[in-house]
């Protein structure tokens, strides 16, 4: 039996992944602000409040009966893209909230995961759901918060992969770039006026031409990545297309 933790299982990619992995050989715990359509073991957790989120994770891990499991996987999937606008238009509160949920949220998930599993001698995998927005050549106007957070998440993973070289029972930590998926996040992009997001037409065109992936397809790819645990290189960013 595998113990899975997924943040943001209430909708979109997190929900598709929870459904894909609900095969009887995984126990799935999901953490988000709402349950949405997630039917597994749900824990309320809001990453906009980092101290409360850290306590929730600590308690969740403390209640896990690790002896029942042959491996553990944590998927840090929760994320927000809003607000989409030029930096001059963002409030300080917008900046703080977005970076807290996306970036501090990932730090807290990874930190609490490593603390809780430090002495476990089973395969341990932490997957950060990243984005093409992390790449230098994919910086987009009006996405400063999201691009900066996604780049930061990827570098966090690379850094922690190196730290794990110094511990007795290291976990593998990897990034996963899921590509463009048809979720609420894409609906938000398409509904943003061009004045706030100059590149909006490109995303409307992707939808019109049917060039976005179904989250279920990408969940299949991530399930294959998880099954390839032995061959994964810690610190690497994997592309969904590597596992289709
Ligand atoms: N869609 C794409 O094209 C695309 C492309 C590249 C990368 N990604 C990445 O894929 C991941 C999933 O995105 P998605 O497209 O599935 O987006 P989505 O449909 O908007 O889902 C986002 C998830 O994050 C959770 N979340 C948001 N704020 C939260 C908070 N404060 N605390 C806890 N959980 C929170 C939401 O749950 P609650 O609202 O219930 O809290 C929801 O389950 C994100 O990391 C995103 O950056 C998406």
Give phi and psi for 16, each to the nearest 5.
Answer: -60, -40
Nearest-atom number in ligand 1 for the CA of 184 is 19
Ligand 1 pocket check for 34: Cβ under 6 Å: yes
Ligand 1 pocket check for 45: Cβ under 6 Å: yes
The predicted-structure confidence for 195-231, as pLDDT tens digits, reads as follows 999 999 999 999 999 999 999 999 999 999 999 999 9
Please tell me whether residue 187 adopts helix, strand or coil conformation.
helix
Yes or no: say if 52 and 41 are a contact pair by the CB < 8 Å rule: no
**Rounded distance, CA 222 to CA 241, Å?**
10
Ligand 1 pocket check for 16: Cβ under 6 Å: no
How is residue 137 written in tokens? 């050549």
Which of 98, 180, 87, 173 lies closest to 132 in space, CA to CA?
A: 180
The predicted-structure confidence for 179-197, as pLDDT tens digits, reads as follows 999 999 999 999 999 999 9
**What is the pLDDT at residue 91?**
98
According to CATH, the superfamily of the domain at 2-181+214-243 is NAD(P)-binding Rossmann-like Domain (3.40.50.720)
**What is the pLDDT at residue 186?**
98
**What is the pLDDT at residue 161?**
98
**What is the pLDDT at residue 244?**
94
Question: Cα dihedral sign for 74, 69, 160, 172?
Answer: negative
Give, in order, the Cα–Cα distances in Å from 117 to each of 61, 62, 122. Answer: 9, 10, 9
Which of 23, 18, 26 lies closest to 1 in space, CA to CA?
A: 26
């Amino acid at each position: 039996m595998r113990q899975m933790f997924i943040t943001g299982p209430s909708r979109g990619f997190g929900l598709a992944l929870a459904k894909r992995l609900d095969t009887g050989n995984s126990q799935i715990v999901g953490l988000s602000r709402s349950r949405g359509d997630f039917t597994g073991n749900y824990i309320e957790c809001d990453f906009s409040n980092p101290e409360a989120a850290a306590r929730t994770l600590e308690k969740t891990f403390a209640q896990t009966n690790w002896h029942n499991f042959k491996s553990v996987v944590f998927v840090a999937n929760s994320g927000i893209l809003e607000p989409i606008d030029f930096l001059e238009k963002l409030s300080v509160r917008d900046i703080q909230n977005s970076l807290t949920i996306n970036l501090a949220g990932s730090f807290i998930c990874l930190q609490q995961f490593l603390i809780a599993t430090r002495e476990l001698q089973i395969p341990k995998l932490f997957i950060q759901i990243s984005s093409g927005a992390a790449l230098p050549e994919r910086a987009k106007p009006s996405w400063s918060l999201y691009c900066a957070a996604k780049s930061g998440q990827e570098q966090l993973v690379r850094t922690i992969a190196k730290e794990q070289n110094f511990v007795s029972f290291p976990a593998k930590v990897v990034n996963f770039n899921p590509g463009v998926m048809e979720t609420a996040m894409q609906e938000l992009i398409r509904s943003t006026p061009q004045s706030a997001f100059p590149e909006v037409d490109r995303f409307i065109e992707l939808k019109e031409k049917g060039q976005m992936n179904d989250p279920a397809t990408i969940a299949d790819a991530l399930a294959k990545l998880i099954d390839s645990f032995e061959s994964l290189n810690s610190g690497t960013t994997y592309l969904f297309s590597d596992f289709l």
